[in-house]
Structure 1
């Protein structure tokens, strides 16, 4: 399923919001499990968007 630009922005916003508001992520040097999951979702969306862009060329 291809990711839309909107999906990419939503996953990025979710990760950034979590990183700003999570106490563990803010004070610890290691990101929490939720942060890792959100970053993985964003990276997957970014890769899928890059694939879609390269396929349409």
Structure 2
């Protein structure tokens, strides 16, 4: 079972890879719907990850 850190890293990687490869995100200054969804997943994973203080 993947840890929360793995899920956070995977969400971040998915978002970054999409931003590099999506034609619409490259052509427009506004992210496409998929990019917004991936960013939302990343933000949710980041919020649920345990904090290391």
TM-score (norm 1): 0.81
| Runs of 4+ deviating beyond 4 Å | none
- Paired position in structure 1 for 2:15: 15
- Paired position in structure 2 for 1:53: 51
Residues 7-47 of structure 1, C-alpha deviations (whole Å, 9 max, x = no match): 00000000000000000001101100000000000000001
- Paired position in structure 2 for 1:31: 31
Cα RMSD over matched residues? 1.6
List gaps (5 residues or longer) in structure 2. Answer: none
Q: Which of these two proteins has the greater Rg computed from alpha carbons?
A: 1
Number of residue pairs matched?
A: 51
CA distance in 2, matches of 1:16, 1:43: 13
TM-score (norm 2): 0.87
List gaps (5 residues or longer) in structure 1. Answer: none
Q: Judging by fraction of residues, say which structure has more helix.
A: 1
